[in-house]
């Protein structure tokens, strides 16, 4: 089992390295000079020379690559010329609200999905079809539209929640629900289908023949089996939450990584966009690795003897 | 929010012959199979809706006589009524007309994105599915790397480099989708590669190449239209999200995501510009998902 | 009800059922699947429920626990469990009953036990669930005690393991342990030994027999009449949801009344049926002694004498290296395998799982290269040359696999499947004619040309598989358990087809099977495989009647045989 875990950790390092390398190659593969690409829309005298000096653009390609790698490892992502700040400062200050949003939405989605799946899996046909339909609708709803609808109803009309900003916890409620619902829709589908597939397995008949009640069967036996495909989805889920957070922030005017990145895209502030993307990739790799290791721990069949 | 196919074509129980089904020695739930022969009404509805969508993309003027781009300022922000079915927006443009004319953008960019992702995904997936461990590892790491960037953010990065616009977000969405398609094609290829009818084909005098062309490739390709349909819905979701952010087609293009972005300014006083384009997106995604899921379930029964 | 040994006097029955019928709403045209079923089981008694697939035996057994499935409707004139009327039971009543009064053992512990829970947890569940014991120490003691009762060595270690870590026999016993932990009065075993090797099967049956001796009742569901003969007091034969025969085992099996039961018994291949058509059997009452019933069968055309050698296997050895994760252990799968096959003869390979017979088949077919040794086909080098060189010879060596469906390309229709084995050079019309004549040869016809294999029955698919093999006009056909997955009656028909074709066409067969009866019925010579070696070979009749090697002897001793079972089994003790 340990060899499996170690090899999984090594793989994740390879993938992280590959994303950094791909970014480097993409930068250099684009037409135009690197100085111009990195400068974006900004123009003032001496800028190009400063960029060249900072990034060592006169050195050979392998040297540049090595320096690029070592900078990333040290956490130095360069400077945003548009905002005239080190990128780390720009991103770091806005990281927290986004993570707050993504995490809250994620936890909410998992709770909703777990509850509904437990209650509806294998029950009467009507409740299953109804739940199935509701899940489909939510999984198909664009995040930003859901946000607009919730804004209209709860902020503008009922005035229960503030329209924008990050003051207090009630500014988190609507954005978190907006992000959680489509995620929950998909997650519930996966969980419920996995549970129903499991309920058809012979071992469940054996458990029933011991006189165990239906709820206990689901809680003690079926849930663990259903978690396996859900855990597999986990990595994608994190990526989806991060991406969704970006969109949700725009809808609710909530400051965070989304606003920063969008602004950077529109002003061609390459260092900032690059950093955000790489950071998201690292988070994704770390999360997937943890989840894969969790998978090995849950399923004893994978612990090779 | 993108939606990967969690069912991912894993092996299912082969369908028993009719005589075997007559006895119910298998799961008693099998008794209910007889009922499934009719096409479910949801599927029929979805099929009709998709047909309407395609018609609206090709010939939108059939559905409305209003001009989606030119509005009458004096008619600004009129609520839905008999003349303007979906009301008018801030510039007096008919929302229904804009929704109809907007169909082609969502479908085109969605299909385009899927095409890009599928094209590269198929080639890479088949390569990874061969018996070469090194190739498999290399391509799988490539997929891991691509999928470690959240789709929306990767698209934003590509748009930063290439600029805004329809084509660019189609490419961006396509590249972000390569791992999705690639992994499914890879799994399918491995499944078929290990199937009995492939491993035993040498007995009938077929060379490795003939086996690949006659048995492996056709069975892999059979899955492609199904994969494409399953993922079109989620692709359209990303595309409209990127347009909402302003990275895709620019105003005054009546793309649904763009329309929703514009509606945010008038939400306090007018609900209709913020509702109907969203309904259109949701309904489109639902329709494609229903069709895709149905195809996938029928296909899974055939895998043996 | 404790585990004390009870006398065989007429104790009160555990279960009494009369006129049971089971149906599913909306299926089968709203007609019941099972009708008019009667059953009585007393403590210390074993009743067997016998039938082919589709007979309704599993559903009937499950409905005794009310586990027939969602939407099942049961009705009965009388349905009494331990003196209480089960027709009025609520779901809570059933739950109290399950595990304490009844225990269920199903086929294949690998899927019948929760793979994510340890053996100990599975065994303990019924005890803690019904609060029979609440002290964790007491529960643990009881778990280990139960594991010991079913003969699992080192129960303390095994209790911490998972089902996939135990061998087939051990995990089946663990499954039984989980069913008897609360000392139920009635054990229902649904094909408990079907996927096991013969020697392991004997051990598991022994465990069940011990439970009967201790006073439990056993309802055994099986399609294997020989297994039933050795352990059951009474037999109920079912077909299409109805009981066709029932009574004491000895009576039903030696003097079967219903034609279906007679067909079942007569279809069992063995040394006695050799040289005759299994499916043609008739029962005749002896003129002199009305109690003696003889099975009369139609003879098959005489088999040709063996001719020259078509297949030579010399000194084959093969080992596999386990992947890095499992420690790179080298396992020797085959060692020193040598035999030959001549024109017109049927050579059998018999062995249990892990004996290497499948690997041997793959090497003979050229799908795997041997590490040592050589295979020669029609005198030409076969295993030692590249595929391109031996492709021309491929037609001479064909294959009938166990799983016909997975050997067909799912996109291909019957005509495509067979056409794949015909030379491309012939014209389309000529090919079509040939395909139709091949279909007729195997008992199908032109109507099946455009069918998809998944719409055919198991027997029909196997016939298509045979037709495909014959299309190449081979000298030798390797048959790997071709009838193991078929019901007895269908198996008889397919075996008859094979024997007849073999006699007519003179094709040599290399027939692999774990079923000694089939081997005895079909083969001229037999090779006995154990752990990758041939431990005995020779004329089939001689080896199987007078085995010399210890393994062959133990194999034959473990195989259930109807006559032997009736003579020495529990059935005799109660007669």
Q: Is C19 left (phi over 0), alpha (psi -120 to 50) or beta?
A: left
Burial class (CB in 10 A: 0-12, 13-18, 19+), A19: buried
Top residue of C25, C26, C27 to mutate, by most chain B CBs within 10 Å, is C27
Confidence of residue A81 (pLDDT cuts 50, 70, 90): confident
CB-based contact C391:C385 (threshold 8 Å): no
Each domain of chain B, given as residue ranges in start order, spans 41-299
The pLDDT > 90 percentage for chain A reads 18
Confidence of residue B15 (pLDDT cuts 50, 70, 90): very low
Asked if the model's pLDDT at residue A305 lies above 60, the reply is no
Angle at alpha carbon of residue B103, lines to B102 and B109, rounded to 5°: 95
Point out the residue among C55, C401, C472 whose CB comes nearest to the CB of B23. Answer: C55
CB-based contact B55:C493 (threshold 8 Å): no
Angle at which helix A257-266 crosses helix A223-252, to 10 degrees, equals 60
Residue C507 within a domain:
yes
Q: What is the CATH number of domain B41-299?
A: 1.10.3720.10
Q: Which chains touch A (3 or more CB pairs under 8 A)?
A: B, C
Q: Give the mean model confidence (pLDDT) for residues C333-352.
A: 92
Helices (H), C7-56: none
d(CA C256, CA A94): 85
Point out the residue among B14, B25, B302 whose CB comes nearest to the CB of C58. Answer: B25
Q: Give the mean model confidence (pLDDT) for residues C273-286.
A: 75
Asked if the model's pLDDT at residue B2 lies above 50, the reply is no
Question: What is the model's pLDDT at position A258?
Answer: 86
Taking each continuous run of H as one helix and of E as one strand, the counts in chain A are 13, 2
- Chain C residues touching A301 at Cβ < 8 A: 115, 162, 164
d(CA C149, CA C154): 12
Question: What is the model's pLDDT at position C177?
Answer: 95
Provide the 10 A C-beta neighbour count for residue A25: 11
Find tokens 């009981």 and name the residue: C243
Q: Is A253 left (phi over 0), alpha (psi -120 to 50) or beta?
A: left
Sequence-separated (6 or more) residues with CB below 8 Å from residue A119: none
Question: What is the model's pLDDT at position B33?
Answer: 38
Find tokens 């990050």 and name the residue: A166
CB-based contact C198:C204 (threshold 8 Å): no
Q: Give the mean model confidence (pLDDT) for residues C456-484.
A: 93
Asked if the model's pLDDT at residue A274 lies above 90, the reply is no
With an 8 Å Cβ cutoff, are A210 and C111 in contact?
Answer: no
With an 8 Å Cβ cutoff, are B1 and A183 in contact?
Answer: yes
B235, two tokens:
């692709």
With an 8 Å Cβ cutoff, are A211 and C179 in contact?
Answer: no
Question: What is the model's pLDDT at position C112?
Answer: 94
Does A3 contact C at CB distance below 8 Å? yes
With an 8 Å Cβ cutoff, are C411 and B203 in contact?
Answer: no
Question: What is the model's pLDDT at position C566?
Answer: 76
- Chain A residues touching B144 at Cβ < 8 A: 11, 15, 18, 285
Asked if the model's pLDDT at residue A31 lies above 90, the reply is no
* Strands in C95-227 per DSSP E: 102-105, 186-190, 217-222
SS3 category, C459: helix
Question: What is the model's pLDDT at position C375?
Answer: 93
| CATH code, domain carrying C549 | 3.40.50.300
| Backbone torsions φ then ψ of C2, nearest 5 degrees | -95, 175
pLDDT in tens, C137-155: 999 999 999 999 999 999 9
Q: Give the mean model confidence (pLDDT) for residues C330-350.
A: 91
CB-based contact C57:C50 (threshold 8 Å): yes
Asked if the model's pLDDT at residue C296 lies above 80, the reply is no
Question: What is the model's pLDDT at position B155?
Answer: 85
With an 8 Å Cβ cutoff, are C111 and A298 in contact?
Answer: no
- Chain A residues touching B263 at Cβ < 8 A: 148
pLDDT in tens, A178-206: 999 999 998 998 888 888 889 989 999 99
SS3 category, B26: coil
d(CA C418, CA C431): 10
Task: List A residues 194-223 in contact with C (Cβ-Cβ < 8 A).
Answer: 201-203, 205-213, 216, 221
Confidence of residue B301 (pLDDT cuts 50, 70, 90): low
C84, two tokens:
């209480």
Confidence of residue C482 (pLDDT cuts 50, 70, 90): very high
Provide the 10 A C-beta neighbour count for residue C94: 17
d(CA C333, CA C164): 21
Average pLDDT, chain C: 88
Point out the residue among B157, B267, B290 whose CB comes nearest to the CB of A152. Answer: B267
Question: What is the model's pLDDT at position B35?
Answer: 37
- Chain B residues touching A268 at Cβ < 8 A: 160
Confidence of residue A167 (pLDDT cuts 50, 70, 90): low
Provide the 10 A C-beta neighbour count for residue C191: 19
pLDDT in tens, A213-271: 988 998 899 988 988 888 888 888 888 898 899 899 988 888 888 888 888 888 888 88
Residue C559 within a domain:
yes
| Backbone torsions φ then ψ of C541, nearest 5 degrees | -60, -45
Nearest to C176 by CA among C197, C198, C200, C157: C200
pLDDT in tens, C387-427: 888 888 899 999 999 999 999 999 999 999 999 998 877 78
Top residue of B13, B16, B23 to mutate, by most chain C CBs within 10 Å, is B23
Beta bridge partners of residue C538, listed in sequence order: C526
Question: What is the model's pLDDT at position C2?
Answer: 44
Q: Give the mean model confidence (pLDDT) for residues A159-163.
A: 71
pLDDT in tens, B54-97: 999 998 888 888 888 887 777 778 888 888 888 888 888 888 88
Lowest mean pLDDT among A219-228, C6-15, C162-171, C241-250: C6-15
Asked if the model's pLDDT at residue C6 lies above 60, the reply is no
Question: Residue C429 sits in which domain range?
Answer: 309-566
With an 8 Å Cβ cutoff, are A205 and C67 in contact?
Answer: yes
Q: Which chains touch C (3 or more CB pairs under 8 A)?
A: A, B
Taking each continuous run of H as one helix and of E as one strand, the counts in chain B are 11, 0
Provide the 10 A C-beta neighbour count for residue C353: 13
The pLDDT > 70 percentage for chain B reads 86
Question: What is the model's pLDDT at position B7?
Answer: 41
Residue C430 within a domain:
yes
- Chain B residues touching A33 at Cβ < 8 A: none
How many domains are contained in chain C?
1
Residue C22 within a domain:
no
Question: What is the model's pLDDT at position C415?
Answer: 93
CB-based contact A116:A181 (threshold 8 Å): no
Asked if the model's pLDDT at residue B143 lies above 80, the reply is yes
CB-based contact A257:A91 (threshold 8 Å): yes
Confidence of residue A87 (pLDDT cuts 50, 70, 90): confident
With an 8 Å Cβ cutoff, are A203 and C115 in contact?
Answer: yes
- End-to-end CA gap in chain A: 8
DSSP track, A225-280:
HHHHHHHHHHHHHHHHHHHHHHHHHHHHT--SHHHHHHHHHHTT-HHHHHHHHHHH
Burial class (CB in 10 A: 0-12, 13-18, 19+), C137: exposed
The DSSP code for A222 is I
Question: What is the model's pLDDT at position A165?
Answer: 65
SS3 category, A85: strand
Asked if the model's pLDDT at residue B14 lies above 60, the reply is no
Asked if the model's pLDDT at residue A304 lies above 80, the reply is no
The pLDDT > 70 percentage for chain C reads 94
Find tokens 């087809």 and name the residue: C497
CB-based contact C369:C363 (threshold 8 Å): yes
Nearest to C145 by CA among C159, C161, C164: C159
- Chain A residues touching C110 at Cβ < 8 A: none
Top residue of C30, C420, C422, C458 to mutate, by most chain B CBs within 10 Å, is C420
Residue C339 within a domain:
yes
d(CA A298, CA A188): 20
Lowest mean pLDDT among B36-45, C69-78, C539-548: B36-45
The pLDDT > 90 percentage for chain B reads 41
pLDDT in tens, C498-523: 998 988 888 999 999 988 899 999 99
- Chain C residues touching A203 at Cβ < 8 A: 111-115
Angle at alpha carbon of residue C381, lines to C377 and C387, rounded to 5°: 95
Confidence of residue B20 (pLDDT cuts 50, 70, 90): very low
With an 8 Å Cβ cutoff, are B31 and C69 in contact?
Answer: yes
Residue C255 within a domain:
no
């Amino acid at each position: 089992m340990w060899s499996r875990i170690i090899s999984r950790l090594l793989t994740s390092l390879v993938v992280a390295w590959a994303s950094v390398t791909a970014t480097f190659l993409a930068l250099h593969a684009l037409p135009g000079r690197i100085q111009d690409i990195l400068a974006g829309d900004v123009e003032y005298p001496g800028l190009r020379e400063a960029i060249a000096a900072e990034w060592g653009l006169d050195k050979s390609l392998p040297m540049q690559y090595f320096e690029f790698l070592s900078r990333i490892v040290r956490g130095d992502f360069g400077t945003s010329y548009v905002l005239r700040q080190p990128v780390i400062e720009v991103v770091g200050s806005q990281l927290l609200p986004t993570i707050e949003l993504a995490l809250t939405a994620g936890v909410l989605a998992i709770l909703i999905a777990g509850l509904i799946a437990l209650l509806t899996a294998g029950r009467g046909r009507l409740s299953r079809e109804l739940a199935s339909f509701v899940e489909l609708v939510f999984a198909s709803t664009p995040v930003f539209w859901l946000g607009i609808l919730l804004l209209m109803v709860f902020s503008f009309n009922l005035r229960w929640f503030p329209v924008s900003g990050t003051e207090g916890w009630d500014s988190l409620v609507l954005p978190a629900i907006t992000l959680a619902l489509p995620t929950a829709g998909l997650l519930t589908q996966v969980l419920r289908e996995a549970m129903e597939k499991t309920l058809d397995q012979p071992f469940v008949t054996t458990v029933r023949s011991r006189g165990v009640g239906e709820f206990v069967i689901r809680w003690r036996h079926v849930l663990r089996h259903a978690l396996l495909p859900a855990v597999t989805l986990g990595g994608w889920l994190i990526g989806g939450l991060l991406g969704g957070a970006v969109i949700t922030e725009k809808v609710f005017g909530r400051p965070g990584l989304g606003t920063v990145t969008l602004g950077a895209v529109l002003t061609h502030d390459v260092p900032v966009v690059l950093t955000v993307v790489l950071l998201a990739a690292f988070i994704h790799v770390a999360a997937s690795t943890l989840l894969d290791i969790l998978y090995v721990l849950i399923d004893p069949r994978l612990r090779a003897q | 929010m993108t939606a990967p196919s969690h069912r991912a074509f894993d092996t299912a129980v082969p369908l028993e012959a009719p005589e075997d089904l007559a006895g119910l020695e298998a799961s008693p739930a099998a008794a209910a199979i007889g009922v499934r022969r009719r096409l479910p009404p949801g599927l029929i509805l979805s099929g009709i809706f998709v047909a309407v969508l395609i018609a609206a993309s090709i010939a939108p003027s059939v559905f409305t006589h209003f001009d989606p781009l030119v509005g009458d300022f004096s008619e600004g922000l009129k609520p839905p009524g008999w003349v303007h079915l979906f009301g008018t927006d801030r510039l007096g443009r008919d929302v229904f007309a804009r929704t109809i004319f907007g169909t082609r953008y969502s479908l085109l960019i969605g299909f385009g994105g899927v095409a890009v992702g599928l094209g590269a995904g198929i080639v890479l997936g088949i390569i990874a599915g061969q018996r070469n461990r090194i190739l498999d590892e290399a391509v799988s790491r490539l997929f891991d790397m691509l999928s470690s960037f959240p789709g929306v953010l990767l698209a934003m990065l590509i748009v930063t480099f290439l600029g805004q616009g329809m084509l660019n977000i189609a490419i961006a969405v396509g590249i972000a989708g390569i791992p999705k398609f690639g992994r499914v094609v890879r799994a399918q290829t491995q499944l078929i590669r290990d199937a009995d009818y492939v491993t035993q084909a040498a007995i009938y005098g077929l060379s490795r190449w003939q086996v690949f062309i006659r048995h492996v490739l056709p069975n892999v390709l059979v899955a492609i239209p199904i994969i494409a349909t399953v993922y079109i819905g989620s692709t359209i979701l990303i595309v409209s999200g990127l347009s909402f952010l302003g990275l895709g087609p620019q105003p005054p293009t009546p793309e649904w995501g763009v329309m929703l972005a514009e509606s945010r300014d008038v939400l306090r006083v007018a609900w209709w510009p913020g509702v109907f384009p969203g309904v259109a997106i949701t309904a489109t995604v639902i329709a494609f998902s229903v069709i895709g899921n149905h195809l996938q379930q029928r296909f899974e029964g055939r895998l043996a | 009800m404790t585990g004390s040994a009870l006398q065989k006097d007429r104790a009160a029955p555990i279960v009494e059922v009369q006129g049971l019928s089971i149906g599913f709403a909306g299926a089968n045209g709203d007609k019941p699947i099972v009708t008019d079923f009667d059953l009585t089981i007393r403590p210390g008694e074993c009743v067997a429920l016998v039938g082919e697939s589709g007979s309704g035996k599993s559903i009937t057994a499950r409905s005794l626990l009310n586990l027939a499935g969602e939407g099942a409707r049961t009705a009965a004139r009388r349905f009494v469990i331990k003196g209480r009327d089960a027709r009025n039971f609520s779901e809570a009543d059933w739950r109290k009953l399950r595990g304490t009064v009844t225990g269920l053992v199903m086929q294949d512990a690998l899927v019948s036990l929760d793979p994510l829970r340890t053996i100990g947890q599975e065994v303990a569940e019924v005890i803690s669930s019904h609060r029979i014991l609440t002290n964790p120490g007491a529960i643990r003691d009881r778990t280990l005690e139960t594991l010991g009762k079913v003969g699992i060595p080192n129960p303390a270690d095994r209790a911490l393991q998972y089902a996939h870590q135990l061998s087939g026999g051990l995990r089946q016993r663990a499954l039984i342990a989980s069913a008897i932990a609360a000392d139920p009065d009635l054990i229902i075993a649904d094909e408990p030994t079907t996927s096991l090797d013969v020697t392991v099967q004997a051990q598991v049956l022994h465990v069940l027999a011990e439970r009967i001796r201790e006073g439990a009742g056993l309802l055994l569901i099986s399609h294997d009449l020989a297994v039933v003969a050795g352990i059951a007091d009474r037999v109920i034969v079912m077909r299409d949801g109805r009981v066709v025969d029932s009574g004491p085992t000895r009576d039903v099996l030696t003097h079967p009344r219903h034609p279906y039961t007679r067909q079942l018994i007569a279809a069992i291949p063995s040394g006695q049926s050799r040289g005759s058509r299994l499916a043609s059997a008739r029962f005749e009452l002896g003129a002199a002694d009305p109690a003696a019933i003889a099975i009369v069968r139609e003879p098959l055309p005489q088999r040709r004498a063996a001719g020259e050698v078509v297949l030579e296997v010399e000194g084959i050895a093969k080992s596999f290296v386990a992947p890095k994760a499992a420690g790179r252990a080298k396992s020797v799968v085959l060692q020193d395998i040598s035999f030959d096959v001549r024109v017109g003869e049927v050579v059998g390979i018999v062995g249990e799982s892990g004996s290497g017979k499948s690997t041997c088949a793959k090497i003979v077919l050229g799908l795997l290269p041997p590490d040592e040794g050589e295979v020669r086909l029609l005198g030409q080098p076969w295993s030692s040359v590249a595929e391109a060189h031996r492709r021309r010879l491929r037609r001479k060596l064909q294959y009938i696999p166990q799983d016909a469906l997975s050997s067909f390309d799912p996109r291909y229709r019957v005509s495509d499947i067979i056409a794949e084995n015909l030379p491309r050079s012939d014209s389309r019309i000529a090919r079509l004619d040939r395909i139709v004549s091949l279909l007729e040869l195997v008992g199908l016809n032109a109507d099946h040309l455009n069918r998809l294999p998944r719409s055919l029955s198991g027997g029909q698919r196997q016939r298509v598989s045979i037709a495909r093999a014959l299309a190449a006009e081979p000298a030798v056909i390797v048959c790997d358990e071709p009838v193991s997955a078929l019901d007895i009656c269908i198996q008889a028909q397919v075996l008859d087809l094979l024997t007849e074709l073999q006699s007519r066409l003179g094709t040599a067969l290399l027939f692999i099977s774990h079923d000694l009866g089939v081997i005895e019925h079909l083969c001229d010579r037999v090779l006995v495989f154990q752990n990758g070696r041939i431990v005995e070979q020779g004329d089939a009749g001689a080896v199987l009647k007078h085995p010399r090697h210890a393994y062959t002897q133990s194999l034959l001793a473990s195989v259930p045989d109807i006559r032997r079972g009736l003579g020495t089994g529990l059935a005799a003790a109660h007669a």
